């Protein structure tokens, strides 16, 4: 089974992806993790990624698709969770083409629905709790930064919602429910 997890920052994608990895033996393909892994790999692709990232430039869609292709051609285990990709319609089309090329398909797009005000309160509260407990919080886990991150997320992904809805892949899940309730809703959606 191959799925995409969509949801704004702090919606719980990482928590739910970890659960799916653990319970369904899926492989989480996080774009950021793949780029960091490639950068330190020493492979031809890794050296290309390192040069681009070290120059402070954005990695092209072509390179990201190349990294995903490498993963798809390896051990498939229980399928793949795409996390952080696609973010644009061009990337969505490229992913669909790649999946078809390697004989795979996209089974579902799970969108975690949230109320932005509740989400911001939750993240800011967690950050404050972490600091109070002697830990640290992300520098951008404050109300103003979170609102900017949310606006950027929606600008980039709104088109994807319509795209996957039209393809019949989109499943909405209440991202603000208790963690176990979200897990159960996702499990039901995936069958």
Q: How many residues does the chain have?
A: 191
Whether 122 is catalytic is no
CA 28 to chain centre: 9
36 is catalytic: no
pLDDT in tens, the chain (191 residues): 999 999 988 888 989 999 999 999 999 998 888 888 888 888 888 888 888 888 888 888 999 998 999 899 988 899 999 988 998 899 999 999 999 999 999 999 999 999 999 888 888 888 888 889 998 887 777 888 888 889 988 998 899 999 999 999 999 999 999 999 999 999 999 98
Q: According to the model, what pLDDT value does residue 172 have?
A: 97
Rounded to whole angstroms, the Cα distance separating 69 from 50 reads 18
User: Which one from 39, 69, 149, 155 is the annotated catalytic residue?
Assistant: 149
**Contact, 5 vs 169, CB < 8 A?**
no
Which one of 48, 69, 71, 138 is the catalytic residue? 138
pLDDT for 131 equals: 87
Choose the catalytic residue: 126, 147, 167, 183.
Answer: 126
Using an 8 Å Cβ cutoff, are 49 and 36 in contact?
no
Residue 145, pLDDT score: 87
105 included as an active-site residue: no
138 is catalytic: yes
| Closest-CA residue to 16 (of 123, 174, 191) | 174
Residue 59 DSSP label: P
Query: Which residues is 174 bridged to in the sheet?
Result: 113
State residue 115's pLDDT score.
92
Q: Which residue is catalytic, options 13, 122, 147, 156?
A: 13
For residues 77 and 186, what is the distance between their CA atoms, to the nearest angstrom? Answer: 19
């Amino acid at each position: 089974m191959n799925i995409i997890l969509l949801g704004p920052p702090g919606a719980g994608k990482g928590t739910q992806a970890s659960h799916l990895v653990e319970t369904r033996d899926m492989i989480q393909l996080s774009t950021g993790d793949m780029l960091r892994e490639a950068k330190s790999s020493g492979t031809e692709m890794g050296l290309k990624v390192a040069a681009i990232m070290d120059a402070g430039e954005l990695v092209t869609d072509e390179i990201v698709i190349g990294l995903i292709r490498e993963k798809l051609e390896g051990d498939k285990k229980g399928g793949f969770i795409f996390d952080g990709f696609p973010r644009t319609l061009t990337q969505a089309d490229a992913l669909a083409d790649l999946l078809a090329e390697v004989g795979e398909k996209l089974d579902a797009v799970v969108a975690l629905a949230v109320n932005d005000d509740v989400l911001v309160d939750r993240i800011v509260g967690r950050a404050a709790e972490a600091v109070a407990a002697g830990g640290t919080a992300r520098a951008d886990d404050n109300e103003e930064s979170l609102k900017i991150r949310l606006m950027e997320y929606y600008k980039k992904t709104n088109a994807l919602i319509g795209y996957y809805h039209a393809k019949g892949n989109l499943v909405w899940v209440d991202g603000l429910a208790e963690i176990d309730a979200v897990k159960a809703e996702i499990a039901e959606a995936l069958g």
